[in-house]
Amino acid sequence: MRGFCVVLGALISACGGVTAEAPLTLKLGGDRAATTSALRAHKFCHTEDGGPQPNPATYPRCERAGAEWGESWVSARFEQDRLIELRRYERFSDDGRAVERWNQLVGDRLKLHPDAPDAVGELQARGLPPGTRTMKAWRLDATSVVGVYLLTPTAPENASILESILRLPKPASDIEVVH
């Protein structure tokens, strides 16, 4: 029996991969097809209805068996068919679970990127989402940052948590002037 449990544990670990609970790891700039594929790997599914592509596009959590403590979905905004902003919303009816989930997401993000106080300042300068209780931010590259916000649920999303990846405008010192 013990050998069976070890083998079963190894199989479960090998099948783990990216989950809907893991931090979003998409890079900005990809096209819609690449974004849809990458979000499917994160367990967020988009169904095409054959009509015009919405902007932002919404990717609800893929169907899965079992109960969940909350619900989550991703919103992707495109410009000229390139991803420029990604937002994952998570909604919980229990505030304790929301705080626990925020702590988990922050801890998982810290494993990927060091704290970036300058990124926090840049996001604060852009304006915080309504109901922000606390937030953390990380720099992904020279122009992209990710923020994880613990929110007091407010309409229209009524989300408890927001994870947002966005491109910041280039600083004035980086803009090339052509004469």
How far is Cα 104 from Cα 106, in angstroms, rounded to an integer?
6
Place of tokens 């300042």: 121
Mean predicted lDDT score pLDDT of the chain: 82
Q: Establish if 7 belongs to a structural domain.
A: no
Side-chain-side CA neighbours of 152 within 13 Å: the count stands at 4
| Of 64, 128, 111, 55, residue with least CA distance to 85 | 55
Mean pLDDT, residues 79-107: 94
Q: What angle do CA 137, 138, 144 make, to 5 degrees?
A: 110
pLDDT for residue 168: 83
Q: Establish if 177 belongs to a structural domain.
A: no
pLDDT for residue 117: 86
| Domain count for the chain | 1
Q: Establish if 175 belongs to a structural domain.
A: no
How far is Cα 46 from Cα 36, in angstroms, rounded to an integer?
7
pLDDT over threshold 90, residue 87: yes
* Two structure tokens written together for 172: 């004035």
Q: Establish if 49 belongs to a structural domain.
A: yes
pLDDT over threshold 50, residue 173: no
Q: How confident is the model at residue 143 (pLDDT cuts 50, 70, 90)?
A: confident
Q: Establish if 155 belongs to a structural domain.
A: yes
Q: Establish if 45 belongs to a structural domain.
A: yes
Phi, psi angles (nearest 5°) of residue 169: -65, 150
Percent of the chain with pLDDT strictly greater than 90: 57
Q: How many angstroms separate the Cα of 36 from the Cα of each of 13, 47, 130?
A: 25, 9, 28
Q: Which domain holds residue 142?
A: 20-169
User: CA 41: distance to chain centroid?
Assistant: 13
pLDDT over threshold 60, residue 172: no
pLDDT over threshold 90, residue 162: yes
Percent of the chain with pLDDT strictly greater than 70: 78
Mean pLDDT, residues 174-179: 45
Give me Rg for the CA atoms of the chain.
18
pLDDT over threshold 70, residue 160: yes
Q: Establish if 68 belongs to a structural domain.
A: yes
pTM: 0.81
pLDDT over threshold 90, residue 33: yes
Q: Establish if 128 belongs to a structural domain.
A: yes
Question: Greater confidence, 137 or 7?
Answer: 137
Q: How confident is the model at residue 18 (pLDDT cuts 50, 70, 90)?
A: low
Q: State which amino acid sits at residue 19.
A: T
User: CA 13: distance to chain centroid?
Assistant: 23
pLDDT for residue 69: 65
pLDDT for residue 57: 92
Least confident of 47-61, 75-89, 161-175: 161-175
How far is Cα 50 from Cα 137, in angstroms, rounded to an integer?
37
3 state DSSP class of 148: strand
